[in-house]
Amino acid sequence: MSKKSESELMSRRTVLRSAVALGAASLAAPVLAQDALQGVISAPGRGTWDDQFDAKGASRSAVNVATNNPVLGPAGVPNIQQAIFQYQEIVANGGWPTVNSQQVLRLGVSDPAVQQLRQRLMIAGDLPREAGMSNAFDSYVDGAVKRFQSRHGLPADGALGEYSVKALNIPADVRLRQLETNLVRLQSMAGDLGPRYLMVNIPAAYVEAVENDRVALRNTAVVGRIDRPTHAINSKVYEVILNPYWTAPRSIIEKDIVPLMRKDPTYLTRNNIRLFDGKGQEVAPETVDWNAPKAPNLMFRQDPGKINAMASTKINFHNPNNEYMHDTPQQGLFNKLMRFESSGCMRVQNVRDLVTWLLRDTPGWDRQSIERVIAARVNTPIKLAQEVPVYIVYITAWSARDRVVQFRDDIYQRDGNQELALQTTTGIERPSGSIDDDMLPQ
C-alpha cells in the first residue's frame, strides 16, 4: 500500500471515529447508528466520496415532504407521539453536531463543515446512510438539505443561509420539548372535526381544506404579526362575499389614513375610498379638516375593485375579533419567507380555489359563476348552504401519517424557548404609509 493511500485510509478512519463520537445515530435506535457508520466504512469503491451524484434520489428527498395528510385529525396525536419517541432516542444518543462554516454551504462546495452537516442530516433522517462522509456538498447532501428545509417551512433551495443554519443548530433536546409542547395542543384538537373543515395553522402560515381526513387544498397565507396576532379559535365559515367593500376600522383611520391625507390629499380618491356620514350621505374629502386634533367621525369605505384591500373575496366566520380571510392585491406577499404582516386577518393565496371548495354545496355557485360575478365588480354576499367548521390553531411541530416530522418557528413566542423564535417580526419595519387590515396600495 502506498503512503498516499495509507494516509487517505487513516484520514477516513479518523473522520468516522469522529462521527461516532458526535452521535451519528439514525432515528430508529443506537444500533442503526453503528450500522450506518459501518456501511460507510465497508462500502466498496466509494473513493473519497467527493464525486457522488444521484439526481433522482436527491429530488425524491425533497419531494417526499409534500403530503395530503392533515395536521389535525385522529392520527395527529399518535403520529406526534411516535416523533417524540424518535427524538427521545436522538437525545439519548447525544443529539446532533453543530454546523459551523465561514461560507454558505451549497451544491459543489467542499468544506470540512460538510462532514458536520452530513452527520446532522443523517441523525435526523434526512440523509441516507449510503451517502457516506466527506467534505463534498454533493447531490445527496443537496437533496437532504432541501428535505430538511421543506420540513422546517424554509425555501427548499439547497443553500444553507442564515435561517437554515439557525434551524439546523437548534439542539435536539429543544426540538424534543417543542414536540412535547405541541402534543398537548394536538390532544386538545383530537375530537370529531367534521367531514369537511378548514384549518389555519398560524406558525406555518397556511390554510388546509380537509375532506374525509385528506387535504383537498393547501393555500399559502399571510397571518398577523406579533404585535397584532391572529387569534386561535374554533368557529364556522358562514359567508363568502365576492367584490367586498372594505370599511376601515377606527384605529386605522386614526393611525394611518389621517396622517396619509395630511401628506397627500389625493390618497382617498386614488384608492377609491369614499366617506359617508351617519345618515349615509357621501362627504367630499376636500370638505374635511384633516389637521383637526381628532379624526373625522365618518365611515371610510373602499369600493370593490382590483385595488380593494380584500381584492376579489372576503370569507367570514363567527368570531369576536373582527377577523376574516380574504384575497389581496399584493400577491407578492405570498412569496416572502416571513408571512406575518397583517393585523390579524388572514390573506389567502389562490383564494378562488378555496371559495369554490367552500361553495361546492351552495346551489348556483360553481367556479364559472364565481368568476363571472368577480369580473362584474358587483358586491355579492353569499350565505353557505351549510356552514363549514374552521379551526385556527397554533401548532409549531407535528408529524402526519407519513412520519415526516415538521417544525415551524415559534413566531408568537409561545413555546417557552427563545431559540425557537427564529424569524421574529419585532425587528421588521412596516412599509412607510402602509395600511392594515390589510395594506392598501400607496
**Is there a catalytic annotation at residue 231?**
no
224 lies in the same domain as 324: yes
- In this prediction, residue 264 carries a pLDDT of 96
297 lies in the same domain as 312: no
Nearest to 311 by CA among 282, 342, 352: 352
Euclidean distance between CA atoms 271 and 275, whole angstroms: 12
Euclidean distance between CA atoms 342 and 225, whole angstroms: 6
Residue 423 buriedness (CB in 10 A; 0-12 / 13-18 / 19+) = buried
- 438: preceding bond cis by omega (within 30 degrees): yes
111 lies in the same domain as 258: no
109 lies in the same domain as 69: yes
CATH code of residue 112: 1.10.101.10
- In this prediction, residue 437 carries a pLDDT of 46
Euclidean distance between CA atoms 350 and 337, whole angstroms: 18
CATH code of residue 326: 2.40.440.10
169: in domain? yes
100: in domain? yes
**CA-to-CA dists, residue 85 to 56, 90, 96, 197, 405, angstroms:** 31, 9, 16, 30, 12
Identify the active-site residue in 152, 231, 318, 326.
Answer: 326
188: in domain? no
345 lies in the same domain as 313: yes
Please provide residue 321's backbone torsions phi and psi, each rounded to the nearest 5 degrees.
-105, 5
- In this prediction, residue 10 carries a pLDDT of 43
Euclidean distance between CA atoms 358 and 377, whole angstroms: 21
Identify the active-site residue in 152, 231, 318, 345.
Answer: 345
Q: Which DSSP symbol is given to 154?
A: S
Predicted structure pTM score = 0.80
**CA-to-CA dists, residue 411 to 131, 166, 206, angstroms:** 34, 14, 14
227 lies in the same domain as 322: yes
439: in domain? no
Please provide residue 346's backbone torsions phi and psi, each rounded to the nearest 5 degrees.
-115, 115
220 lies in the same domain as 119: no
Query: Structurally, how many domains does the chain consist of?
Result: 3
Mean pLDDT per 10-residue section of the chain, whose length is 442 residues = 44 42 40 42 37 48 71 91 97 97 94 97 95 95 96 94 94 97 94 95 96 95 93 98 92 92 96 95 96 95 88 95 91 85 92 97 96 95 98 95 90 89 49 42 36
417: in domain? no
- In this prediction, residue 330 carries a pLDDT of 85
- In this prediction, residue 429 carries a pLDDT of 36
- In this prediction, residue 423 carries a pLDDT of 62
48: in domain? yes
CA angle 36, 9, 129 (to 5 degrees): 15
Q: What is the mean pLDDT of the chain?
A: 84
Please provide residue 109's backbone torsions phi and psi, each rounded to the nearest 5 degrees.
-80, 145
- In this prediction, residue 238 carries a pLDDT of 98
Determine the structural domain holding residue 142 and report its residue range. Answer: 14-175
420: in domain? no
Q: How many CB atoms lie within 10 A of CB 188?
A: 11
**Is there a catalytic annotation at residue 318?**
no
- 437: preceding bond cis by omega (within 30 degrees): yes
Euclidean distance between CA atoms 105 and 101, whole angstroms: 8
- In this prediction, residue 370 carries a pLDDT of 97
- In this prediction, residue 64 carries a pLDDT of 65
235 lies in the same domain as 216: yes
Euclidean distance between CA atoms 373 and 285, whole angstroms: 30
